[in-house]
Amino acid sequence: MRAKPRNLLSSAVSAITTAIVLSTTISQAAPSREEWEKLTEAEAIKPENWPEWPEDKVPVYSPAESMKRMKVADSFEVQLVAAEPMIKDPVFAIFDSKQRLWVCEFQTYMLDTEANGENERSSRIQVLEDTDGDGQMDKATTFAEDLINPRALTFLGDDKVLVAETGSLLLFTDADGDLVPENRERVMDFAKEAFDNIEHAENALLYGLDNWIYNSKSSRRLIYRDGQIVTAPTKARGQWGLSMDAYGRLYSNHNSKWGDWDWLLYDKGASAGAPNRDIHTIRKNTAINRAYRFKTLQADQRLASVTSISGLTSMSDAGFGPEWQDSFFSFSPGGNAIGAFRPEQAADRTTSYEHVLYPDEKWGKREFLASTDERFRPVNGTVGPDGSLYVVDFYRGVIQHKKYLTDFLRTQSEERDLVKPTGLGRIYRIVKKDVAPEPAPELNDLIAALSHPYLFWRMEAQRQIVTNNRQDLVMDLQLLARDEKALPKARVHALWSLHGLTALSADEINAALASDDWFVQLTGLRVADNSPGGRVPFPADFTDAASKLKQNSEATPIVQAHAEKLLTSGFPDRSGYVDKVAPRVKKDKELYARYQKGRTTYSTYCAACHQPDGKGKAMMAPQLAQSDWVNGPADILIKTVVHGLTGPIEVNGKPLVGIPPVMPPHGFLDDQQMADVLTYVRTAWGNPAAPVLPEDVKAVRDANPDRMAMWTQSELRP
């Protein structure tokens, strides 16, 4: 069968002329491989030079039939978890603490080759449950519908679900846990580019080790604080999907690359990622967008290198056993395959990964999992509560968006019946047959769950502690963070949990720096600072301990090098904001020292709302730069911060509009911290006010010993 051009001639050209062109095209023989490889790009794109493709139509297989066409690595097994009609067009899946599987669906993606109806509100989120314990989901509840292609979600607190759809970030509240949300709030713009270019827009909502939520195809991160979503700049990562390992490294990928990772969460650099672009499929892959280019396919018409790479998943501290520790798996829907990559060095010195391949009788080599089913489209994955790898299969013929759909692929898709049907989809579980899963922890004991062998449960416990603001667990977390006999990674999660609760003390940091474990040491160095923006010096309180790590010949090289860098250069700017210190501050050594300490405290407790530049944030907090509240009488400002302020409020003579009229109390800061942070805000960003002294703060506290209520503007500034 020869390739036939689709709509290549203008509608103005007569039917006779079209027939002549088609006849000429069909009668011509395809160029030989040798001739094909000599074609220029301009020649290769012409229909008469397109390679031949199979004559067969592409069948639609049942899940059982499709599984028979998969080849997976020895000692592994593929099991069906869910399929249509329970789910349709799945692109993302994540488990909650109740072991329910939440699935985001793209029900209006490429319903035809013109993408008609793509932005209609007819997609949904399904919550799947296995009520009889047989490993397959048997109950589905629609949590939300009338969505525009939801692409990711995460959980905040016990009753909130954050959802990313085309154009919006939505916050659902389900207070009674019946999967029928009582409230749906649009938080902010998100993935607006998806209205025009659905493949290249923000996606992923990955809850990170540092309690920030990271995205791919995005240069911003999110955090949930005091019931609000706050954003800050970060490194732009990947195109679709995001994952994290047990050491806080973030894994991302691009259309034509298996994967990259970076350790910027720990202020470390990026790696080279996956070693190559090679792919080893087990079927001819002619229905690839640019297969008319000879370099896209091998001589046997299999893919030569990866394209259409979608999500990826780290298997760090999961259920595949020690040999797969810190490995990651990347999904190639275009190649109907999943690639496996194992680190070639230990976690503290990883620089490269091995592309793990397997012998194949017909093709020589194959990927970790490969299928001959052309509609098998692994687009994303996640690690489940049982430590297994769960694979999201979009199960489609056409996965290329119309914006990039070449005439070559469009024509082949139509001739081989790849355009329809839509509305299918499966989720599979890949298990290691010789590894027994670890039992789930009791989440009524979140402290114990922080010591679970699986990263899934440790992160779930940490997320619940922080997003539910479990201040009642602070003492237990502090004990765990200091416990030299505890699991080192449990101590790390305790440190980050305290960090998220803004309850981390010098004792926990010093204990971490004195640990024998390199990751606990590295975490101690990292959490010594909580600045989301602006370069800050390494705190003087910990320089002795950091110096010992720097000079300790038995310390892991990564810890030694990082301690030296921090002592020399301080912490890096994580926000893109550059703090310009006023000359009057720099000239006064004592003032400058207090300014630096105040900046660190501001970064910890204030910057998320008022922003690193002091300009405030819409719907969140007013400006502090050039504010009459900041530059006015010091006692009024101290009262505001110690006891809080409630509205109505005016700033610079204008009513506060679009911002909650509440400044929460920060009386938990001691007199020195309070004085330093207020000195910082009164001397930063061009503010001309005088410093605040600890005795000024003490005087205000002493004058109002029994006050519990917030101040009002009428009381402070009648």
pLDDT on residue 30? 63
> Residue 573 in 3-state DSSP?
coil
pLDDT on residue 553? 79
- Give the end-to-end CA distance of the chain in Å, rounded to a whole number: 86
Q: Residues 456, 437: contact at Cβ < 8 Å?
A: no
- Angle formed by the axes of helices 518-527 and 557-569, nearest 10°: 20
pLDDT on residue 206? 97
The Cβ-side half-sphere exposure at 96, using a 13 Å CA radius, reads 21
Q: Residues 296, 377: contact at Cβ < 8 Å?
A: no
pLDDT on residue 294? 66
Instruction: Give me the helices (H) in 442-588, please.
Output: 446-449, 455-467, 474-482, 488-500, 506-513, 518-527, 543-551, 557-569, 583-587
Write out the two tokens for 222.
């999110």
Report d(CA 554, CA 284) in Å as an integer.
53
Report d(CA 624, CA 678) in Å as an integer.
11
Q: Give me the residues paired with residue 153 across strands.
A: 163
Write out the two tokens for 694.
């600890």
Write out the two tokens for 693.
């002294």
Q: Which fold has domain 583-716?
A: Cytochrome Bc1 Complex; Chain D, domain 2 (1.10.760)
- CA distances for 428 relative to 135, 136, 363, 381, 388, angstroms: 10, 9, 25, 9, 10
What's the DSSP call for residue 669? S
Q: Which residues contact 14 (CB under 8 A, 6 or more apart)?
A: none
Write out the two tokens for 202.
């923000």
Predicted confidence (pLDDT) per residue in 638-696, tens digit: 999 999 998 889 999 999 887 777 888 888 889 999 999 999 999 999 999 999 999 99
Report d(CA 281, CA 363) in Å as an integer.
8
> Residue 83 in 3-state DSSP?
strand
- Intervals of the chain under pLDDT 50: 1-28
Instruction: Give me the helices (H) in 528-660, please.
Output: 543-551, 557-569, 583-587, 589-605, 607-610, 628-631, 634-643
Residue where the block lists tokens 């200091």? 482
Q: Which of 309, 190, 312 is nearest to 244 (CA)?
A: 312
pLDDT on residue 4? 44
pLDDT on residue 10? 34
> 662-663 and 645-646: which strand pairing?
antiparallel
Q: Which of 249, 156, 252, 167 is nearest to 202 (CA)?
A: 167
Q: Residues 369, 72: contact at Cβ < 8 Å?
A: yes
- Output phi, psi for 475, to 5 deg: -65, -40
Q: Give me the residues paired with residue 90 across strands.
A: 105
Residue type, 219: S
Residue type, 204: A
Which DSSP helix (H) or strand (E) runs through 262?
Answer: strand 257-262
Which DSSP helix (H) or strand (E) runs through 410?
Answer: helix 407-415
What's the DSSP call for residue 297? B
Write out the two tokens for 36.
């094909």
Q: Which of 378, 408, 398 is nearest to 289 (CA)?
A: 408
Q: Which sequence spans correspond to the domains of the chain?
A: 15-49, 63-432, 467-569, 583-716
Homologous superfamily of the 63-432 domain (CATH)? TolB, C-terminal domain (2.120.10.30)
Q: Give me the residues paired with residue 214 across strands.
A: 206
Q: Residues 288, 397: contact at Cβ < 8 Å?
A: no
pLDDT on residue 237? 87
- Burial class, 464, CB count within 10 angstroms (exposed 0-12 / middle 13-18 / buried 19+): buried
Q: Residues 81, 386: contact at Cβ < 8 Å?
A: no
Q: Which of 478, 452, 466, 289 is nearest to 386 (CA)?
A: 452
pLDDT on residue 531? 60
- CA distances for 669 relative to 502, 524, 676, 701, 708, angstroms: 11, 22, 10, 12, 16
pLDDT on residue 9? 34
Report d(CA 630, CA 541) in Å as an integer.
28
What's the DSSP call for residue 540? G
pLDDT on residue 613? 83
Q: Which residues contact 32 (CB under 8 A, 6 or more apart)?
A: none
Report d(CA 70, CA 67) in Å as an integer.
5
Task: Name all contacts of 250-255 with Cβ < 8 Å and 24+ positions apart.
Answer: 250/206, 250/208, 250/214, 251/312, 251/313, 251/314, 251/328, 252/216, 252/312, 253/309, 253/310, 253/311, 253/312, 253/330, 254/309, 255/307, 255/308, 255/309
pLDDT on residue 55? 76
> 426-432 and 76-83: which strand pairing?
antiparallel
